[in-house]
Amino acid sequence: SAECGNPFAFAFYAGDLIQGRQVEKDEALGNLWAQKALSSNDSYAIGLCNSYGLGTLRDEDEAKEFFALSAEEGNFLCLFICF
């Protein structure tokens, strides 16, 4: 999905690379994928990056703002996030 241009997948793949989950750990490549997610217009992907500190400093307040925006945009995944 990440290679197909899905910003949500960019963020997850970035986390996998940065933490070495099921792939060889590569923080530099992980940060490149995180930057793709952060530069997208996908508020959920941006929220994930802020929540986990992927390609940016961890900022829970900023993450909550992006998750709330994503919920307003109709993303049902955000309905399960406790604010």
Residue 24 one-letter amino acid? E
* Confidence at residue 31, expressed as pLDDT on a 0 to 100 scale: 97
pLDDT digits (tens, 9 = 90+) for 32-50: 999 999 999 999 999 999 9
- Helix then strand then coil, in percent of the chain rounded to 5, is 65, 0, 35
Nearest CA among 73, 72, 38, 39 for reference residue 52: 38
**Burial (CB count within 10 angstroms: exposed 0-12, middle 13-18, buried 19+), residue 47:** buried
* Confidence at residue 42, expressed as pLDDT on a 0 to 100 scale: 95
